Structure 1
Amino acid sequence: MQAQKLPVSDRAHHSTEPDAGISEWLASDAQLAVAEPDITVLDSLAPLEAVWRALDRDNLNSLHQGYDWCMAWTKSFGRQLSIVWGRIGGETAFILPLEITSFHGFRTARFIGADHSNINTGLFSTRFIELADNLEPQKLAMSLRRALAGRTDLLLLQNVPLEWRGRRNPLALLPMVQNQNHAYQLPLLDKMESTLQQVNAKGRRKRFRAQLRRFEALGGFDYISSGTPDEQHQLLDRFFEQKRERLKALGLPDVFADPETKAFLHGAIDIRDRDGRMVGLEMHAIRLKGEHSGRIAALAGLSRKGDHIICQFTAFDESAAPETSPGEFLFWQMVAAQHGKGVRLFDFGLGDQRYKRSWAPVKTEHHDVVLPLSLRGSVGALMHRAITRGKGFIKSQQKLYVVAQRLRRVIGV
């Protein structure tokens, strides 16, 4: 459930005039009610690049399903692809970029890069979105089952908001279970002062001033928000080191350890358009001066599409700057820096953590599409639903959640 309504802007850059082919197909609600997408499944991205990039221009289609993002992941991991291309009346209605993986022991089709995605919407044309509520859910599910038959046992599309910034997602037509995680967002208003009014402005300003004095007593700091490509890649490598050290101290596995993930994120740094309104990954950091000159106290990776900023990950090192809370201080710098740059939403990403709740007045539910494609897939679907609901229950019970976190650290999973 959202604590407040998300701002809506930067709608699709497509023409608002209906396409001729779709207009014929959607001549009436009656025709739409019986319409069924014509679905083709491809093994590579390249044949769809032109239509894919056309859908990318809609800023409400997630960056994580963008052509360049998916290509960077595919080049690093090389997994089997199943790119679902849906058309009606000869016009592209949607693209679902999927890869085939083993998930809980079942052969599963998931969004490309699902383990490192904070929001997934799929790619839909604006015309299809406008009229999808009239589609019969069974027909969309049947079309997907036929298209993916023999390729996989289960279609599992995770972290999908049923509604994103006022727009209903057509994936809501499919069988779903609520994901155990929520996403947290901070709407950015005209000025930093106005934005802070949403999140206990007085207390946050007081804390920021105290942190600033502590940094100045240590010799000062630099806030790094850009730089040469080489500098950006160096900061990412430092993030991997800091995160590894932090997770090891907590007894948790390092989800960034494998070379494929590192190569993908380095590739994401090189994704950006000319005007800076689409950025795959940009590293931000607090670098100390004085006695600890050059030492990185906190790091974060941000992505941008349109007016939406997503914080993909963070890491911090408090050993050189005790009592400064460098991670929180970096968030202040990043949020403040986005004002005046056309950004309206700062997204802290998935996962319930105290610092996210303290910064973000908006909480967005995510859901998982769980569509079995075979008898074996039906077992996998039941298992995923049970696991997800179990995790959701544990997270809703504070005492149980604390015990689960401690247990996770003990067994290292």
Structure 2
Amino acid sequence: MQAQKLPVARKAHHSTESNAEVSELRALNAQIAVAELDIVVLDSLGPLEEIWRELDRDDLNSLHQGYDWCLSWAKAHGNPLSIVWGRLGEETAFILPIEINRFHGFRTARFVGADHSNINTGLFTARFIELATNLEPRKFAELLRRALVGSADLLLLQNIPLEWRGCHSPLALLPMVQNQNHAYHLPLLANMESTLQQVNAKGRRKKFRTQLRRLEALGGFDYISSGTSDEQHRLLDRFFEQKGERFNALGLPDVFEASQTKAFLHGALDIRDPGSKTVGLEMHAIRLKGAYDGHIAALAGISRKGDHIICQFSAIDESLAAETSPGEFLFWQMIAGQHGKGVGLFDFGLGDQRYKRSWAPVETEHYDVVLPLSLRGRVGGLVHRAITRGKAFTKSRPKIYHLAQRIHRVIGV
């Protein structure tokens, strides 16, 4: 549920005509256009690079479906690709970057890098988004099914907002289940003071002053928000160490442990396009001075697409100055530092955590496309729906959720 509307980077395209006859003609033309929709599937990214990069320029198409992001993942992991290319005649309508892997034991077609994506939109042209209002859902689903049949048992596209900053997703035409995780956003206003007015400004400022005094008493700190390429890569390696220690302490699997995932994120550090304000990944950190000189107390990796900042991950070293809440302090520094840089939205990503709720006045529901491609895929779809709804039920009941977390930590599954 959204507590308020997200700021809009680009308005959805729609007709402003009030004349009934003109509107009817436009609807008829749209129906004719979508009747020409054709879908083909490619097994590599290269043939579509030029068209893909053109779609990348639309800031409402997620960074996680961007060409460079997907290329970095594909190089690191090497999973079979099924790049879905939708066309209206000779005109590109959309691209869905999909790879084939095992999920819940089924051969599944998912977004490239789905396990490390905080928001997925696919890449759609503004024209197709408008025309899709006249596309029959069953026809759209059948076209996708025919294109992908044989390559996988199930099409599973996860973490999709049905409406993103005023723009409706054509993927909403497909069979869906609500994802158990919501995303949390903080709109950035003219300055830090204005931004804080959306949350508990007084309490937030008081907490910041307390954290600042405690850090200064320990000898001070440096806030790292940029640096050389080598330093950025070193900070990412330190993040892997900190996060691995944290997962191990909780008895949880380390989702960053695989060498392929580490290689992908190191590759994301090198994604930079100043012209479009795209940043694949940038490491930020609180580095202590004094007795702990040089030690990293908190780390976070953020990405940027247009005016949208996404926090991809964060970690703290609980053995150092934990009483200063260095993670919270780092978020203050990151958010304050984005003002005056053309940023309109700070995205804390998926997952319900207390610090996110304390910062973010906007909560956005995400959905998963669940489209069986075979008889076995029907079973896979039922399994995913059951698991997702079970998790959503648990998370909506705090007492049960906290109990489940404790059990999970004890038995390590």
User: Under a length normalisation based on structure 2, what TM-score does the superposition of the two structures give?
Assistant: 0.95
Once the two structures are superposed, what CA deviation does each residue of 1:72-91 show, in whole Å capped at 9, x if it has no partner?
00000000000000001210
Task: Note the residue ranges of structure 1 that are not aligned, 5 or more in a row.
Answer: 13-23
Residue identity matched to 1:170: P
Once the two structures are superposed, what CA deviation does each residue of 1:217-240 show, in whole Å capped at 9, x if it has no partner?
011000000001000000000000
- Give the distance between the partners of 1:222 and 1:292, measured in 2 at CA: 12
1:146 counterpart SS class: helix
Partner of 2:32 in structure 1? 31
- Give the distance between the partners of 1:28 and 1:322, measured in 2 at CA: 62
* Percent identical: 77
Say what the alpha-carbon RMSD is for the aligned residues: 1.6
Once the two structures are superposed, what CA deviation does each residue of 1:137-178 show, in whole Å capped at 9, x if it has no partner?
111101001101111110000000000001000000000000
Is structure 2 residue 143 aligned with structure 1 residue 166?
Answer: no
Partner of 1:186 in structure 2? 186
- Give the distance between the partners of 2:412 and 2:32, measured in 1 at CA: 54
Once the two structures are superposed, what CA deviation does each residue of 1:279-307 show, in whole Å capped at 9, x if it has no partner?
00000000001111100000000000000
Once the two structures are superposed, what CA deviation does each residue of 1:89-136 show, in whole Å capped at 9, x if it has no partner?
210000000000111111100000000000000000010012211111
- Give the distance between the partners of 1:198 and 1:77, measured in 2 at CA: 41
Partner of 1:101 in structure 2? 101
Q: How many residues align?
A: 402
Q: Is the 8 A contact 2:27 2:134 kept in 1?
A: no
Partner of 2:317 in structure 1? 317
Once the two structures are superposed, what CA deviation does each residue of 1:15-55 show, in whole Å capped at 9, x if it has no partner?
xxxxxxxxx998624425x6152111000000000000010
Q: Compute the displacement of 1:395 (Å).
A: 0.5
Once the two structures are superposed, what CA deviation does each residue of 1:263-293 show, in whole Å capped at 9, x if it has no partner?
0000000001134710000000000011111
C-alpha change, 1:276 and 1:324, in structure 2 (3 Å) is farther
Q: Compute the displacement of 1:322 (Å).
A: 3.2
Q: Is the 8 A contact 1:53 1:66 kept in 2?
A: yes
- Give the distance between the partners of 1:27 and 1:284, measured in 2 at CA: 52
Q: Is the 8 A contact 1:286 1:296 kept in 2?
A: yes
Is structure 2 residue 162 aligned with structure 1 residue 175?
Answer: no
- Give the distance between the partners of 2:169 and 2:149, measured in 1 at CA: 24
Residue identity matched to 2:286: I
Task: Note the residue ranges of structure 2 that are not aligned, 5 or more in a row.
Answer: 13-24
Q: Is the 8 A contact 1:52 1:67 kept in 2?
A: yes
- Give the distance between the partners of 2:67 and 2:26, measured in 1 at CA: 27
- Give the distance between the partners of 1:62 and 1:412, measured in 2 at CA: 34
Is structure 2 residue 116 aligned with structure 1 residue 151?
Answer: no
Q: Is the 8 A contact 1:25 1:88 kept in 2?
A: no
- Give the distance between the partners of 1:182 and 1:323, measured in 2 at CA: 29
- Give the distance between the partners of 2:59 and 2:299, measured in 1 at CA: 26
Residue identity matched to 2:210: A
C-alpha change, 1:287 and 1:58, in structure 2 (3 Å) is same
Partner of 1:393 in structure 2? 393
2:365 counterpart SS class: strand
Q: What are the within-5 Å matches in structure 2 for residues 214-225 of structure 1? A: 214-225=214-225
Partner of 2:60 in structure 1? 60
- Give the distance between the partners of 2:275 and 2:237, measured in 1 at CA: 26
Q: Is the 8 A contact 2:96 2:122 kept in 1?
A: yes
Partner of 1:298 in structure 2? 298
- Give the distance between the partners of 1:297 and 1:59, measured in 2 at CA: 33
- Give the distance between the partners of 1:8 and 1:191, measured in 2 at CA: 18
User: Under a length normalisation based on structure 1, what TM-score does the superposition of the two structures give?
Assistant: 0.95
Partner of 1:18 in structure 2? none
2:82 counterpart SS class: strand
Q: Compute the displacement of 1:411 (Å).
A: 2.5
79-88 or 127-136: bigger deviation: 127-136
Partner of 1:195 in structure 2? 195
- Give the distance between the partners of 1:11 and 1:309, measured in 2 at CA: 19
Partner of 2:70 in structure 1? 70
Q: Is the 8 A contact 2:225 2:283 kept in 1?
A: yes
Q: Compute the displacement of 1:10 (Å).
A: 4.8
Q: Compute the displacement of 1:384 (Å).
A: 0.5
C-alpha change, 1:118 and 1:9, in structure 2 (3 Å) is same
Q: Compute the displacement of 1:407 (Å).
A: 1.6
Partner of 1:119 in structure 2? 119
Partner of 1:370 in structure 2? 370
1:238 counterpart SS class: helix
1:140 counterpart SS class: helix
- Give the distance between the partners of 2:373 and 2:301, measured in 1 at CA: 36
Partner of 2:134 in structure 1? 134
Q: Compute the displacement of 1:318 (Å).
A: 3.0
- Give the distance between the partners of 1:7 and 1:25, measured in 2 at CA: 29
Q: Is the 8 A contact 1:299 1:314 kept in 2?
A: yes
Once the two structures are superposed, what CA deviation does each residue of 1:374-406 show, in whole Å capped at 9, x if it has no partner?
111001001111110011001011111011111
2:4 counterpart SS class: coil
Residue identity matched to 1:129: I
Q: Compute the displacement of 1:319 (Å).
A: 2.0
